[in-house]
Amino acid sequence: MAQAQPLIEPLEFFWECGYWKMMTEMERTPAVDAFIAKKAEFDRLIERLANLSEDHFGLAADEIDWGHVGTLTDWVALLRRVSDAAFKEGEYAIPA
């Protein structure tokens, strides 16, 4: 399986049905706008999670119990899936 080409600026190509295709300005603008909007949403989520973590998830040391450990374990598993997909690791790794 060939690896996708890196994102270039300005966006000149997009993946469609397994083939790279030149994008017209009319096709590119909505895609770029949508990408920028999704990236802003992504950045807001990351910032909120980082702030929550910085605040120790709103917990004082004497409040923490095994339920909190279980919840945090679940959240880490979800974030691991996102990280593995983004960096092509774990179950998303590309076989050598």
Question: What is 10-73 written as a DSSP string?
Answer: S--EEEETTEEEEPPHHHHHHHHHHHHHHHHHHHHHHHHHHHHHHTGGG--GGG--HHHHHHHH
The residue that leads in pLDDT, 4 or 33, is 33
User: How large is the average pLDDT for residues 13-19?
Assistant: 50
For the stretch 55-94, pLDDT in tens is: 999 999 999 999 999 999 999 999 999 999 999 999 999 9
Measured between alpha carbons, how far is 51 from 46 in angstroms, rounded to an integer?
A: 9
pLDDT for the residue numbered 71? 98
CA-based nearest residue to 71, from 89, 91, 53:
53
Count of alpha carbons within 13 Å of 31, Cβ hemisphere only? 15
Whether 12 shows a pLDDT value over 80: the answer reads no
